[in-house]
Amino acid sequence: MSLRVGITGSSGFIGRNIAKALKDKGYAINHFNRPGQDLLNSDPSSLREFIKNSDIIIHAAAINRGTDSEVISGGVVATNNLARAIVDSKSAAKIVFISSVQADLDNVYGRSKNLAESLLADLSKRQGNQVSIFRVPNVFGENGRPFYNSVVHTFCHQIANNQRPKILVDKKTQFIYIQDLSKIISKEVDIARKNKLFLKTIRPANEVMVSDLLRLINSFKNIKDPSKLKSKFHRDLYRTYLSFQSYNKKLEIKSDERGKLVETFKIPDTGQVFYSTTKPNVTRGNHYHTRKKEVFCVIEGKAKIRLRNRKTGQIEEHVVDGEQPEAIEMKIGWTHNIKNIGKKEMKLLVWVNEIFNPEDPDTFSEEV
């Protein structure tokens, strides 16, 4: 029988990512989440049922931001309630606790984590449960909560929304990508350790000044080739930044006697995609490019695409139909056009390998 994994706080940023990693490995996940299930105010029978149905409990529930009493309650009181319920249920479940590198610091959050660790260590000593404690650094990743989980999320949110971030304290900070943390925790589920109590401080190589972090994330606005980012850490940060960008916007429709044209996506160093509509018996094009490559795909209607090699005079013709879409390349240096030969409006999808620049369009008129 496969192990049943219970996760407290599985709707939170860290918990939900760990839950996904374990679900992808085939584990049955037992959730314990607010507001319906709360380690501070939950019905005791609900907590006992959760423990009963869990062979391993990953304790990820916490309050990262709030008043001192809220942070202490979310860390210490919640962990105490969980530990007492485990004792009352006489459960032998392994406990994996998501603690923090701040557990050794003299601040409210750090002290709350340290006390929670002590409660679970005492549980292990008294009842023999295997307890694994992971002290993790600043955790970041896609779709995190700004002004709560990580300064990375706050900076990404602010920069993506054209706001000006402020640095409150500029210091060296260690960061770990959420997917990397999820892998570490999911591996721990499979490990049977000799010692009943295991404590590990995760110290990734990703250590950077907060001011340097801000400069790096700010540079993502104008990045041309993400594949050239020099490290995994930078690529992980870039993916996180992208999750905060909103591409929702109304697109401009350019209309004339031939039909309509809409530029949909523009991606630096990748090009752009647009679509057009063309009325029956109307021809578009009759031009060539010296560096730009285009690919046409008729997605509705019928059309004839003609190309001519300007050097040799060679002619190519393609009769295409949206019922059986084909991708047809418009070769560099070949003048080309497309004609709607159907009785209804023709719809054309086009990819171009560079973004259109009206000051340097690389488009020269010439009949096929």
Domain CATH number, residue 184: 3.40.50.720
Structurally, how many domains does the chain consist of? Answer: 2
Please indicate, yes or no, whether residues 25 and 104 belong to a single structural domain of this protein.
Answer: yes
pLDDT greater than 90 at residue 132? yes
Region 47-56: mean pLDDT is: 93
Q: Running DSSP on this structure, what letter comes out for residue 326?
A: -
Pair (44, 127) in one structural domain: yes
Average per-residue pLDDT for the chain: 93
Q: Comparing 84-98, 262-276, 297-311, which segment has the lowest mean pLDDT? A: 262-276
Whether 169 is covered by a domain: the verdict is yes
pLDDT at 17 over 60: yes
Residue 1 pLDDT greater than 70, yes or no: no
The band of 153, judged by pLDDT with boundaries at 50, 70 and 90, is: very high
CB 273 within 8 A of CB 349: yes
- From 196, 220, 244, give the residue that closes a domain: 244
Question: Is the pLDDT confidence value at 277 over 90?
Answer: yes
In terms of Cβ atoms closer than 10 Å to its own Cβ (0-12, 13-18, 19+), residue 202 is middle
CATH number at residue 307: 2.60.120.10
Task: Please list the active-site residues.
Answer: 109
Supply the pLDDT for residue 44.
Answer: 81
pLDDT of residue 74: 87
Predicted confidence band of residue 291 (pLDDT cuts 50, 70, 90):
very high
Mean pLDDT computed over 42-69: 89
Q: Which of 244, 277, 312 is a domain's end point?
A: 244
* CA dist 85 → 46, 48, 120, 212 (Å): 10, 6, 12, 45
Strand order in the sheet with 334-340: 315-321, 302-309, 334-340, 283-288, 364-365
Percent of the chain at pLDDT above 90? 80
Report yes or no on 249 lying in a domain.
no
Question: Binning pLDDT at 50, 70 and 90, where does residue 245 land?
Answer: confident
277 and 182 both lie in a single domain: no
Same domain, 227 and 271: no
Q: Which two tokens stand for residue 187?
A: 């591996």
Closest-CA residue to 25 (of 137, 139, 188, 140): 188
Same domain, 278 and 207: no
Same domain, yes or no, for 194 and 309? no
Report the pLDDT value the prediction gives residue 54, as an integer from 0 to 100: 94
pLDDT for 225 equals 74
Domain co-membership, 219 together with 261: no
State residue 29's pLDDT score: 93
Which run of H or of E encompasses 111? helix 108-127
pLDDT at 109 (0 to 100): 93
Say if residue 287 is in the same domain as residue 237.
no
pLDDT at 118 over 70: yes
C-beta of residue 109 within 8 angstroms of C-beta of residue 73: no
pTM above 0.85, yes or no: no
Distance CA 307, CA 367 (A): 10
Q: Are residues 171 and 26 in the same domain?
A: yes
* 150 pLDDT more than 80: yes
Q: Is the dihedral of CA 85, 20, 16, 192 positive or negative?
A: positive
Look at residues 184, 219, 244 and tell me which one is the last residue of a structural domain: 244
Between 195 and 225, the higher pLDDT residue: 195
pLDDT of residue 163: 94
Query: Could you list the residue range(s) of the whole structural domain that residue 214 is in?
Result: 4-244
Average pLDDT over residues 84-92: 94
The verdict on 114 and 12 lying in the same domain is yes
Q: Is the pLDDT of residue 241 over 80?
A: yes
Residues 237 and 264 in one domain: no
Task: Answer yes or no: do 49 and 189 share one domain.
Answer: yes
What distance in Å separates the CA atoms of residue 60 and residue 20, rounded to the nearest whole number? Answer: 14
> How far apart are the C-alpha atoms of 17 and 178, rounded to whole Å?
7
Going by C-alpha positions, the residue among 72, 144, 142, 131 that lies closest to residue 107 is 72
Tokens representing 188? 């721990």
